[in-house]
Amino acid sequence: MNQKIIISDPTLRDGNHALKHQISCQQIEQYAVAAEKAKIDVLEVGHGNGLGASSSLLGLSKESDISILETARHNCENTKLGIHFIPGFAKNSDLELALSIGVDIFRIASHCTEANVTRRYIEKVKSSNKIAYGVLMMSHMANVDELLEQASLMQGYGADGIIIMDSAGFSTPTLVRNNINHLTKNLDIEVGFHAHNNLGLAVANSLTAIECGATIIDACVKGIGAGAGNTQLEVLIAVLEKQNIPMNTSFKDVVDLVKSADEIFDSFMPSITCSTIASGMYGLFSGYLSHVERISDSLNIDKYALYERLRDRKLVAGQEDIILEEANILASG
C-alpha cells in the first residue's frame, strides 16, 4: 500500500447535525486554521445535509452558505475546501455560488439507488475544472451490484471518485469488505468511505475500506457528526500510523487539532446511546436522531416503537417530515 490516504474532515459539515446546524463563522475560522496546521487534506463545510439544505424540515443554519464558504475559503490554503451537495435540496444557483467562491472539491450526492439525479451537477463541476466526487448515501439500502451500477453512472458523468456513505451507521466490516472490494476492482476512479459510529464500528469499517483499496476516508475530530458521530479522526490516524499506512497528517499533528476542537466546541463529543444503536440497527439516517428525540419527548411516546415504524417506511435521508406523521399515529394509540 503505497498511495497516500486522503483524509477528508467533515467536522464542520456532518458535525452540524450534532450541533443542530449552529456552527458559527467564528468556529469555522478557528477550526479551519487548526485543520490547516494539522495538515488535514480536505475540510468539508456547510449545513449537515449540504449546500442549500438549511430548512425547516432539517433545521435552519445559524450561518448562510455564503458566509460559511467565504470564511472557510479565507482560512484554507493547503487544506482543500469541500462541500456536500444533494440535488433536490441544493440548486444550480448554490453550485454557482460555491464555484465563484472557489471551493475545490464538490461532493455531489444522491440516495444510493438514484445516481442519475447527479448528472447535470457533476458535469457542471467538471466543466469548471474542479474535483467532483459522486456520493452514494445510505449505502446499506442497495446491494453490491446496484452500488457498482450507480457508481459507474457517476463515473460516466465524469466523477473523479466515488464516496460510499454508511449514513445510518448500519454496516459491519463484512459488508464494507464486500462492497468496497467490488467497487475498487471494477471502477477506474478512486473510492472513498464515510462511516457513522452507531454500532461502534466506524474506525473498524474505515480501516476495512482502506484494506480493500479505498483511498479517501472521512473522519471528524472527536467523531463530531450525526447520530453516534462519524469515524473519530484521532483514533483513525493513530490506527493508520500504527499500520504504517501513508498519509499527510500524523497523530502528533492531530493531538493539537483535538485540543483546539475542545476549545472551539466546548468539549462537545457525540456518544453511542441505546437510541443511536437502535437507529443504526434499523438502518435509519443518522440525522434523524435529534428529531426523533424531540418529537418522542413532546408526544410522550416510546422512541423505539417510533424507530421501528420509521424503519418499516424505508425512508431515505431528507424525509424527516414522516417522523411527525408516524409519531402522531403512535400517540393517538
> Where in the sequence numbering do the catalytic residues fall?
17
Q: According to the binding rule CB under 8 A, does residue 57 interact with another protein?
A: yes
Residue with smaller CB distance to another protein, 109 or 204: 109
Q: Which is nearer to another protein, 127 or 298 (CB)?
A: 298
Contact window for another protein (CB under 8 A) among 27-35, 86-94, 224-232, 302-310 = 86-94
Q: Does 89 bind another protein (CB under 8 A)?
A: yes
Based on the shown chain and the rule CB under 8 A, indicate whether residue 87 belongs to the binding site for another protein.
yes
Footprint on residues 249-308 left by another protein (CB under 8 A): 298
User: Minimum distance from CB of 43 to another protein (Å)?
Assistant: 26
Min CB(212)–another protein separation in Å: 25
39, 88, 126, 178: which one binds another protein (CB under 8 A)? 88
91 touches another protein (CB under 8 A): yes
CA–CA distance, 46 with 49 (Å, rounded to integer)? 8
Give min distance, CB of 318 to another protein, in A.
5
Instruction: Report the site for another protein in 104-143 (rule: CB under 8 A).
Output: 111, 113-114, 116-117, 119-120, 141
- The owner of cell 425547516 is 56
Q: Give the separation between CA 266 and CA 68, rounded to whole angstroms.
A: 20
Q: Are 157 and 118 in contact (CB under 8 A)?
A: yes
Query: Binding residues for another protein, how many (CB under 8 A)?
Result: 28
Select the residue interacting with another protein from 24, 29, 37, 55 (CB under 8 A).
55
Contacts with another protein, residue ranges (CB under 8 A): 55-57, 87-89, 91-92, 111, 113-114, 116-117, 119-120, 141, 298, 313-316, 318-319, 321-322, 324-325, 328
